[in-house]
Amino acid sequence: MVGLMSPTNVSAHPFHVCVGQMTWNAEAKHWEVSLRLHPQDLERSMKVWRTSSLSPDSTPAEIEAAHKGCSVEDREFEELVVTYLDSQFFLRRAPVAMQQDELEKVLNATKREAKDFSKLKWVGREQEKGWLWIHLEMQPPEADLAVYRVWLCHQLFMEAVSRQENSVVVQPSKQIKYSLEYKKGSLLHPLR
């Protein structure tokens, strides 16, 4: 079994980045997403996420699993990663009148209205020279653009990794491509 992180390689790389790309598939009506990330950052962040979601009535097995983290070899890896990513990398619709600072206050609210958020679906993964590529489909929330603005939130690893920086190249059509940059204090950008 290959673990994503061991105590000896917690700070094995000096740069903490997640690079992504999103391409709109007009025929299927979803985004095709690829995220390139450091496996160590993923495991560290998933461990923080899993332990923070424990409740006082969690079973000993749930507590042990949360503290263990997650490896690409684990049977439940795909399911856990999609659930984790759905909470960290998503589209959120909000009324056009809602300002960014207002949205940031309710962004991680406990109760999430499914109709306001995208939903991720696992496609696959690849490992490449110390990087892990995760491929997903993202079903966007329905949004009448006269009423709603759609925001991309990318807070991946921000809680667990200091100086994390993320970027996403967004390609809504063959003619349009732009990049969005994310760091602490700047977790949301509207899609154009």
Number of domains forming the structure of the chain = 1
- This prediction has a pTM of 0.85
CB atoms within 10 A of CB 182: 23
Does a structural domain hold residue 144? yes
Does a structural domain hold residue 7? no
Domain that holds residue 179: 17-37+88-190
Taking the alpha carbons of 127, 129, 132, 137 in that order, is the dihedral positive or negative? negative
User: Which DSSP symbol is given to 99?
Assistant: -
Does a structural domain hold residue 107? yes
User: Which DSSP symbol is given to 4?
Assistant: S
Token output for 117: 């958020």
Does a structural domain hold residue 129? yes
Token output for 179: 């990049």
Distances (CA, A) of 174 to 40, 76, 86, 171: 34, 36, 26, 7
Closest CA to 185 of 91, 108, 101: 101
- The residues, ordered by sequence, that sit 6+ positions from 174 with a Cβ below 8 Å of its Cβ are none
Does a structural domain hold residue 65? no
Does a structural domain hold residue 63? no
> Tokens 């994310």, residue?
182
**How do the pLDDT tens digits run along the chain, 192 residues long?**
334 443 334 445 555 789 999 999 999 999 999 999 988 888 888 888 888 878 888 888 888 877 776 777 788 889 999 999 999 999 999 999 999 988 988 876 657 788 999 999 999 999 998 899 999 999 999 999 899 999 999 999 888 777 889 999 999 999 999 999 999 888 899 998
H or E element that contains 181: strand 178-183
Name the amino acid, one letter, at 101: D
User: Which DSSP symbol is given to 110?
Assistant: S
- The residues, ordered by sequence, that sit 6+ positions from 164 with a Cβ below 8 Å of its Cβ are 16, 17, 18, 41, 156, 157, 158, 183, 184
Does a structural domain hold residue 120? yes
